């Protein structure tokens, strides 16, 4: 697991002065005259990503200025300090006084996330600059959060040839061992014996057997259950995807990766909860024994499901896992899944939409997302659309016709399998289409930092 860290404190750390355009004049006035003149000559104005190296009399690096951007830039982007940190030459840097704690925390977390490298298959140069943890922040907490996000990125970035259901199980076992958690796995034909028929149906055509991963940690406190979609590769099944749509399907286990990253944060921080993580891990493959359009499956809960598109498989495996989670009567069930293209059309790749009937949950998540720069957006469990998932032939339809409200109908489908616990569903993308500050192109965690921040309010911790 990639574990980003801060540099050790050093008396030789290079001062790093961060400011926005309004604070640039004060920052320059605090410098020796020659360095201020040099910064002005290089056009430093505190813009987002601006970076000027200030030399001493011998030409060595004496200090550095980085820009945070104006209010408009900060509204349109996040982790803007990380954009500048990537331009610094090799060395160990210490942020100077003058920033609010919230800005220091964002700069520090941005540094940790920007240091991520997925170098399993090709060497990647580490960041040249190393940052000492700023005074006044909880450096250990930020490193734990960054490690959880980097675990999520590693899992998503690994190709399906090496991240099948068995590999995802191995990653969960590694995490359980690290935190002394308990783990149980139901595999292959045992899924039918133990009454997980839809997980088995979706994964039965693959060479690597489907399974349900069940991790438990903590003996006291509210019961929190996280359910993550673990479709390790999605061909679409017999309703095969076109090549362009199949290209990124190694990330279809992004929900599982996200809940494992969040679980690491929760366990490493020692939150007083009874944590459970359920991951239905499958490959949706094509074969003579693949499930078919117009099949009718009976779920763990007893509800029947008409299959009108084998490419709407994620909600099927989640349904069995959610029904199982609900039987334990937890205080909160949260699912995360790369579930629908409709969610991407609605809010794009950068926002994690969520569905909940709990206004307090929605408020806590919205506030937390702003605090930790992890954008989420509430979507509606719109009850009048329930009829759209009722085909008449069976209790439920896994792929309603018409193309309208696809994210909402998928969420309503999942809600049918939770009867006793408060339920929130995240429909994430799990992928950064192009590099952005602190977020290189590739797998990315979404919604997990907002959830972590909101958990004390949600669970009354």
| Residue 383 DSSP label | G
Whether the CA torsion 307, 308, 313, 317 is positive or negative: it is negative
Look-up of token digits 């996280």 = 226
Report the SS3 class of residue 53.
Answer: strand
Residue 150 CA to residue 177 CA, distance in Å, equals 18
- Which candidate, 111, 45, 53, places its Cα nearest to that of 80? 111
| Residue partners of 250: CB distance under 8 A and separation at least 6 | 156, 158, 159, 160, 163, 232, 233
What positions carry a catalytic annotation?
241, 315
- Which candidate, 216, 215, 244, 250, places its Cα nearest to that of 230? 250
Residue 303 CA to residue 95 CA, distance in Å, equals 57
Residue 246 CA to residue 354 CA, distance in Å, equals 25
Contact 237, 295 (CB under 8 A): no
Question: Can you list the positions of beta strands (E) in 57-133?
Answer: 61-67, 91-95, 129-131
Report the SS3 class of residue 282.
Answer: strand
- Helix ranges (H only) for 17-78 are 24-29, 33-41, 71-76
CA 17 to centroid of chain Cα atoms: 31
Contact 306, 396 (CB under 8 A): yes
Give me the DSSP letters along 165-201: HHHHHHHHHHHHHHTT-EEEEEETTHHHHTT-HHHHH
Report the SS3 class of residue 122.
Answer: coil
CA atoms lying within 13 Å on the CB side of residue 441: 4
* Other Cβ atoms closer than 10 A to 40: 13
């Amino acid at each position: 697991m990639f574990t980003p860290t801060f540099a050790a404190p050093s008396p030789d750390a290079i001062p790093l002065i961060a400011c926005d355009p309004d604070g640039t004049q004060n920052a320059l006035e605090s410098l020796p005259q020659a360095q201020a003149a040099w910064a002005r000559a290089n056009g430093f104005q505190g813009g987002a990503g601006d970076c000027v190296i200030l030399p001493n009399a011998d030409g060595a690096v004496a200090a550095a200025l980085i820009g945070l951007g104006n209010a408009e830039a900060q509204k349109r982007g996040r982790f803007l300090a990380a954009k500048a940190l990537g331009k610094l030459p090799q060395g160990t840097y210490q942020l100077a006084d003058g920033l609010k704690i919230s800005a220091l925390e964002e700069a520090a977390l941005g540094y940790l996330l920007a240091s991520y490298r997925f170098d399993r298959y090709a060497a990647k140069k580490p960041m040249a600059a190393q940052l000492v943890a700023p005074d006044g922040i909880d450096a250990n907490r930020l490193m734990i959060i960054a490690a959880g996000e980097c675990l999520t990125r590693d899992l998503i970035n690994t190709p399906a040839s090496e991240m099948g259901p068995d590999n995802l199980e191995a990653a969960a076992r590694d995490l359980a061992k690290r935190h002394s958690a308990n783990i149980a796995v139901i595999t292959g034909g045992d899924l039918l014996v133990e009454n997980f028929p839809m997980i088995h149906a979706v994964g039965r055509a693959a060479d690597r057997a489907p399974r349900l991963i069940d991790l438990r940690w903590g003996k006291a406190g509210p019961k929190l259950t996280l359910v993550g979609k673990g479709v390790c590769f999605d061909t679409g099944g017999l309703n095969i995807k076109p090549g362009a749509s199949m290209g990124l399907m190694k990330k279809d286990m992004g929900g599982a990766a996200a809940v494992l990253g969040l679980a690491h944060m929760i366990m490493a921080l020692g939150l007083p909860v009874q944590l459970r993580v359920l991951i239905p891990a499958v490959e949706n493959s094509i074969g003579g024994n693949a499930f078919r359009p117009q099949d009718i499956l009976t779920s763990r809960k007893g509800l029947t499901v008409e299959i009108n598109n084998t490419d709407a498989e994620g909600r099927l495996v989640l349904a069995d896992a959610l029904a199982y989670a609900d039987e334990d009567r937890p205080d909160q069930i949260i699912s995360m899944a790369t579930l629908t293209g409709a969610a991407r059309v609605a809010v794009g790749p950068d926002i994690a939409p969520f569905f909940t009937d709990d206004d307090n949950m929605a408020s806590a998540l919205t506030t937390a997302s702003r605090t930790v720069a992890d954008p989420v957006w509430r979507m509606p469990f719109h009850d009048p659309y329930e009829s759209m998932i009722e085909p008449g032939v069976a209790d439920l339809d896994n792929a309603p016709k018409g193309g309208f409200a696809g994210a909402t109908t998928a969420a309503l489908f999942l809600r049918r399998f939770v009867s006793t616990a408060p339920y929130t569903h995240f429909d994430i993308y799990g992928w950064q289409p192009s590099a952005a500050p602190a977020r290189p192109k590739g797998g990315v965690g979404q919604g997990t930092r907002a959830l972590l921040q909101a958990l004390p309010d949600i669970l009354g911790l």
